[in-house]
Structure 1
C-alpha cells in the first residue's frame, strides 16, 4: 500500500489521496456526480463506503488503483502451514523464464505421472476451498514446477492431461492471488493458464480458465471488460452445450455468476438480472449443488450471488431479506464465509450492527485467513470502531487487531 498503513478506513484513504491530489471535497464530489456533503460523510465514516462501483469511480478520479483505496495487497501471515516463503516465492515461480522459454535443462527430476499430478492439484484446490490460504500459497510454487515438468516431459494424451492440470494450477494461483490483493500477479497467472490449455482444444478446461481471467479483471476494477468477457466466453462455450457434461454446465454457470457480479459493480442491473437468470438455468439443468472442477456451482451458489449482486447495486432490502435465509452448510468453506461477509455487510448498512458483528465473528472462527484478507472485514471493523461512542468492546478491538487494522 503506497503512502500509508492499514489502519485507515476506505473513506479516510479517499481523504488522504484527495488532499494529496490537491482537490477540495466539492471538486472531487462533483467529478463523480455526488455532493460535498456526501463526500464529507464518507471521509468521516458516517457513510459506509463498501460498494465497489463507487470506490472504483473515486479511484479513477484520484488516479490511483482500486487496491490503493481498499488497502491491498495485504501481507500473508506466517503460519505453521504457510512457512516463511509465501507470496514472494510464488511471484518468483510465476516470473521464472523456464515457463516461457524452450531452453534445455529446465527440470532436474523425472516428470510426475499425470495421475499423481491430478491428485496434487485436487488436494490443493480442496485446501483453497477450505480457506487454507497460507497452505495453498506456500505450496503453489512447487506444484507449478512439477506441473510444468509434466507438460514438458510427456507426449500425446498424457501431455494434454498435463496441460489441463497446469492450467488448473495457474487458475488456482490466480484465484488465490486475487484473495490476497496481488492483482498484477493474478493477471499473469490467468494468462499463463489460458496459454497452457489452449493447445488441448478442451472447452471445459478453457472455460474454467476464463473464470480466472474474470477474477483478475474484477480485482483491478475492470468491470465492463469482465461483462464483455462473460459474453464472449459464453459464445465460445455455446456450441458445446447441446449435450453438456456436468463439469461444462458448472463452468458455464459459474462464468455467468462472475459476470453478474461484474455487471452489478458496473451499475448495470439489467445485465445483472440476465446473467443471474442464465446461471439459474444452468443450475436447474445441473439439478443439484455440486463441485465439478471446484466451482461449488448449483442453486445455492446462484442464491448467494443474488444476495451479493443486490448488495453491490445498493438494494439492501433484497440482501437483508434473502441473505440470512440462504443455507450454505453444504458448500465449501470459502463460499460459506464469502456469503457471511455479504450478510454482515447488509446488516451493518441496515444499522443492525450487533447482528453484523455476530456474523463476522462466526465467519472468523470458521475461516480466519479468509476473513483477515478481505476488504469488507477490514472496512466493517474499522467503521464500527470509528463510530463507537465510548470505548469499543474487547471483542471488537481484538478482531481489529487480528485484522491488522489496529495496533
Structure 2
C-alpha cells in the first residue's frame, strides 16, 4: 500500500550548523511549502504574521504550506526566506549531494573546495609546479575547451571531478610562464575559474561559486582583456542570483555593460556574445526582482545584440543568439507570473541547435509553465524528456525537485510507478 508522508514539517529535525542555524540537515523529501512551515514554526511565527510580513494573507500561506498552491517563483521564495532570516538555498534544499559516478569518481565538491582554498593562489609565495614541466598554452587551451564542452553537455560530475587538476595546472602556467604566454595562461585561468563558478552555482554551492568568480577576475585583471572580464562578470551575476540578490545583479549588469560598451566600436563575435549574454542574465535578475520594465529593456538590448551577431553561436561557451533570447523570454515570463506567455511561446522555441545544458534548462521552464496551467500530464512528460537528455542537470535543479514532490503530494491515490521512479531518482522520496 502506498504511504504518503503526513504534511507535518515538525516531524523532521534539522542539524545545527556552526553558525547556529537549522539548515542543511533537513530532509530533501520536503516541498518548499513544507520547509516554509518548518522554519516558520522554528521562528515562533503564526501563519497570519508571516503572511502579513510578505504582504499576503494567512489563507494564501496555509495553501502554500499544504501544497495546494505552487511556490516556484524565486522572488516570492526569497521574500519568505528574508523574513525567516534564512538563505534562499535553505528553502530550495540546496546544496544537493553530487552523486558518485564513473564520470565523477569519488572526489567531487570537497576536492574542488580544497583547490579553491589553496592559499598559494592568493599568497606572494607563488604556485610551484612541483618540479613538473609547465603546461603549454596550447595544451591548456584544449583542456579548458574540453571541460567547458563537457559542462555544456550537462556532465556535471565529470566537470567537478576534473576541475581541481585543471585549476592547479592553469595556476602553475600563469605563475611560471612569461610574456604573451603568461597573458594567455592568465586568460585561461580566468576561464577555468569561471567554469568552476558556473558549475558550483548549478550544485547550490553559492559561497564557493563567489570565491571562484572573484579569483577569476583577479587572475585576468593584469591582461586587461574585456571579453574574458565580461564573461567572468556574468558569473558574478549568477552568484548573486543564486543567493537571491537580484537587484544587485541588475546593477552589476548595468555596470558591466557600461564597461564593455567602450569596446563595442569594432566588436568581435565573442564580445557581442558576452555583451548580449550579460543582458540575458540581467533580465532574469530583473524578473526575479519583480521589475518588468527593466526585464523588457534588457531583453530588447539582448535581442538587438543577437540581431547584430546574426545567428546562434557558442562563442566563449555563451550559446548566445536569437534562440537563447527566446528561451529567456519564456523564463522571465514565468518568473513574472505571465504563465500564458510561457505556455504559448515555450513549446514553439526550437532549441535543437543549442548545447544540451540550454536545451534542458528550457525544458524545465516548459514543465513549470504546463504545471502552472494545470496541465500536469504534459508537465510530467516534459520533465521526463529533460531527465532522459541530462539526468544530472535535472537532479540538481530546484524546479524538477519541487515539481516531482508536488505531484506526489497531490496524488489522491497511489502514484504511478513512473512518477514514483522519477521522485526517487531525484532523491526526494524515501
1:58-95 deviation line (CA, Å, top 9, x unaligned)? 00000000000000000000000100000000000000
Q: Distance in 2 between matches of 1:320 and 1:54?
A: 21
From the superposition, tell whether residues 279 and 391 of structure 1 become closer, same or farther in structure 2 (CA, over 3 Å). same
> TM-score scaled by structure 2?
0.94
2:82 to 60, 81, 84: 60
Q: Distance in 2 between matches of 1:106 and 1:387?
A: 58
1:393 to 410, 413, 416: 416
Partner residue, 2:106: 84
Partner residue, 2:191: 168
Partner residue, 1:36: 58
Q: Distance in 1 between matches of 2:184 and 2:305?
A: 26
CA contact (8 A) 2:120 2:127 kept: no
1:238-281 deviation line (CA, Å, top 9, x unaligned)? 01111100000000000000000000000000000000000000
2:317 to 272, 291, 294: 294
Counterparts of 1:305-344 in structure 2 under 5 Å?
305-344=328-367
* Contiguous gaps of at least 5 residues in structure 2: 1-22
**1:104 Cα shift?**
5.1
1:127-166 deviation line (CA, Å, top 9, x unaligned)? 0000000000000000000000110111111111000000
Counterparts of 1:356-375 in structure 2 under 5 Å?
356-375=379-398
> TM-score scaled by structure 1?
0.99
Is residue 143 of structure 2 the alignment partner of residue 117 of structure 1?
no
1:242 to 265, 274, 291: 265
Q: Distance in 1 between matches of 2:228 and 2:101?
A: 33
Deviates further, 295-304 or 239-248 = 239-248
- Aligned Cα RMSD in Å? 0.7
Q: Distance in 2 between matches of 1:2 and 1:103?
A: 36
Is residue 41 of structure 2 the alignment partner of residue 13 of structure 1?
no
Partner residue, 1:75: 97
**1:4 Cα shift?**
1.1
Q: Distance in 2 between matches of 1:354 and 1:134?
A: 30
Q: Distance in 2 between matches of 1:86 and 1:297?
A: 29
CA contact (8 A) 2:394 2:400 kept: yes
Question: Equivalent residue of 1:78, what SS?
Answer: coil
Partner residue, 1:101: 123
Q: Distance in 1 between matches of 2:158 and 2:212?
A: 18
1:141 to 135, 144, 164: 164
